[in-house]
Structure 1
Amino acid sequence: MLQRKRMLRIGVSDESPFIIYSIQSILAAEITRQEIYSYPVEAEHLLIRLKEQTPDILITDFSFSFERNDLNGVKKLEEIHKQLPELNIIVFTTQSSKAILNRILQIPVKAIVSKRDDQRELIEAVQWVCSASPGIYYSRQMKKLAQESLACSANTLLSSSEMEVIRLFAMGYSLMDIAKLRERSVSTVATQKYNAMHKLQLHSNTDLIKYVFSQELV
Structure 2
Amino acid sequence: MDAQTIKVILADDHPSVLAGIKSIITTTNLQVVATACNSTEIIKLLDRGVCDVLVSDYTMPGGEFGDGIPMFEFILRRYPAVRIVAMTMMDNPAILGQLRSSGIRCIVSKTDDVSLLISAVHIAHGSDKGEFFSPTIKAIFNVFGEAKGLLALSQRESEVLRLFVSGMAISEIAGQLHRSKQTISSQKNSAMRKIGVARDIDLFKYAIEVGLIPSRRIENKK
Question: Which bin holds the TM-score, normalised by the shorter protein?
Answer: 0.5 to 0.7
> Relative contact order, CA 8 A, sep 6+: which one is greater?
1
Which amino acid in the other structure matches residue 148 of structure 2?
L
Judging changes above 3 Å, is the alpha-carbon distance between structure 1 residues 45 and 130 closer, same or farther for their aligned structure 2 residues? Answer: closer
Following superposition, the deviation at residue 24 of structure 1 comes to 0.9
Name the CA distance, whole Å, in 1 between partners of 2:42 and 2:133: 25
2:211 aligns with 201
The 8 Å contact of residues 163 and 196 in structure 1, kept in 2 or not, is answered as no
Note the alpha carbon deviations across 1:78-114, whole angstroms, 9 max, x for none. Answer: 0001100010100111111112112211222241111
Deviates more, 1:35-44 or 1:19-28: 35-44
Alignment map for 1:79-118 (pairs within 5 Å): 79-118=74-113
Deviates more, 1:34-43 or 1:114-123: 34-43
Which amino acid in the other structure matches residue 211 of structure 2?
Q
Judging changes above 3 Å, is the alpha-carbon distance between structure 1 residues 82 and 21 closer, same or farther for their aligned structure 2 residues? Answer: same
2:121 aligns with 126
2:3 aligns with 5
Unaligned 5+ segments in structure 2 are: 170-204, 215-222
Following superposition, the deviation at residue 75 of structure 1 comes to 0.2
2:71 aligns with 76
Which amino acid in the other structure matches residue 160 of structure 1?
F
Name the CA distance, whole Å, in 2 between partners of 1:64 and 1:23: 16
Query: Equivalent residue of 1:39, what SS?
Result: strand
The 8 Å contact of residues 11 and 57 in structure 1, kept in 2 or not, is answered as yes
CA RMSD between the two structures: 3.4
Deviates more, 1:152-161 or 1:53-62: 152-161
Unaligned 5+ segments in structure 1 are: 166-194, 205-218
Identical counterparts, % of pairs: 20
Question: Which of 136, 140, 150 is matched with 1:141 structurally?
Answer: 136
2:182 aligns with none
Aligned residue pairs: how many? 170
The 8 Å contact of residues 36 and 42 in structure 2, kept in 1 or not, is answered as yes
Which amino acid in the other structure matches residue 103 of structure 1?
Q
> Does residue 29 of structure 2 align to residue 33 of structure 1?
yes
Length-normalised TM-score, structure 2 = 0.62
Which amino acid in the other structure matches residue 88 of structure 1?
R
Which amino acid in the other structure matches residue 109 of structure 2?
S
